[in-house]
Homo-oligomer: A and B are copies of this chain.
Amino acid sequence: MVKVVQLREMQAVIDQLDATEAIEQGFVAYSNNQVVVPPVGELLFDDPPGDTHIKYGYIKNQDSYVIKIASGFYNNPQLGLSSSSGLMLVFSQKTGMLQTILLDEGYLTNVRTALAGRIAAKYLQPWSVEGIGILGTGIQAGMQLNALQKVCDCRKVHVWGRTPEHAEKYRQKMQDQGFEVRLEETPARVAAASNLIVSTTPSTVPLLQAGDIRPGTLITAVGSDTPDKQELDPEILGKADVLVADSLSQCRERGEISKALAAGAIAEEGILELGRVIARPDLAALQADSICVVDLTGVAVQDVQIASAVCAALD
């Protein structure tokens, strides 16, 4: 019998469940070539404008495989609907039978993305975090900050957002959760006051320049997941002592690394994959003044692992 799980049930188990380790194992398996991830399927719509992406894959010799469907229909807010929606389907790797339908409306993607940010900080945060910088004020801006708490004691937060009202709302919300939040007028001001920066915007022009970054800083770039988006000037990556990709093959095509490669600011040889760092943290040993950039474009193995973890918790 197929189990159908509603969003609220997932939200209830996620709070008790820490999927960090499952996601870490997923990245390690991915970097060890134990993961099958075919090219993303895509359906495009003109009127109204929208797109649907189908991501799917599995870790070899595990119990399940996962197909994720995620849509963005950009006129939806005019109808009072969220522009994004989606679900995950979990099948048995032994029989092909559908086991669980996770009607998560995109929630699990947000969770697994935030956990990747946590993992980046766990392995690559500076010796001492003096301020957390957040670019953007959307869902990931909040979830990334929350996700950091399990691996980082700092509660001083510097935020920049394009829209002042959204920034103020974000400030109040995160302050209510126990953070000391300051709004900054520019991304450069955020970087001047922080040395663990998470960029979560859909920007298509660089928000930070190389001169803005302090020695001993980690920048986790979450926002840029398509070929046209970009949050960091390529020179920041050129200057970085440690440069990490969630997926080398994906980062060649999209995200900050693709832009820096195209600009000639970096060479592919210097890039580490996140799964390799997790398996052998000494590969990315940081000095007190090291600058590190982690480029997160989102890998289907994260979907596989978060869906499997939720299913196990619900069983």
Contact = CB atoms under 8 A, between A and B. Distances in A.
Contact of A57 (B4, B43, B58, B73): B43
A78 to B, nearest CB: 10
A85 interface: yes
A103 B98 contact: yes
Nearest to A86: B98
Interface stretch (A22-30, A89-97, A167-175): A89-97
Contact of A96 (B4, B76, B94, B96): B76
Contacts of A81: 95, 97
A52 B79 contact: no
A292 interface: no
Interface stretch (A64-72, A115-123, A128-136): A64-72
A274 interface: no
A72 B43 contact: no
A39 B39 CA distance: 11
A50 to B, nearest CB: 5
Contacts of A52: 65, 67, 91, 96
A95 B72 contact: no
A48 interface: yes
B42 A38 contact: yes
A124 to B, nearest CB: 32
The SS class assigned to the A binding surface is strand
Interface residues of A, number: 41
Contacts of A72: 96
A188 B221 CA distance: 67
Interface in A35-78: 36, 38-39, 41-45, 47-48, 50, 52, 54, 56-58, 61, 65, 67, 69, 71-73, 76
Nearest to A60: B46
Contacts of A96: 45, 50, 52, 71-73, 76, 85
Q: How many copies does the complex hold?
A: 2
A257 interface: no
A85 B67 contact: no
Contacts of A4: 4, 101
A67 B94 contact: no
Interface of A: 2, 4, 36, 38-39, 41-45, 47-48, 50, 52, 54, 56-58, 61, 65, 67, 69, 71-73, 76, 79, 81, 85-87, 89, 91, 93-98, 101, 103
A56 B43 contact: yes
17 contacts: A38-B41, A38-B43, A43-B56, A43-B57, A45-B65, A45-B96, A47-B61, A52-B65, A52-B67, A54-B67, A67-B69, A69-B89, A73-B96, A73-B97, A81-B97, A87-B89, A101-B101
A254 to B, nearest CB: 19
A54 B103 CA distance: 19
Given A41-B54, A87-B89, 19 more contacts: A2-B103, A4-B4, A4-B101, A38-B41, A38-B43, A41-B41, A45-B93, A45-B96, A48-B94, A50-B95, A54-B56, A69-B98, A72-B96, A73-B95, A76-B96, A81-B97, A85-B97, A98-B103, A101-B101
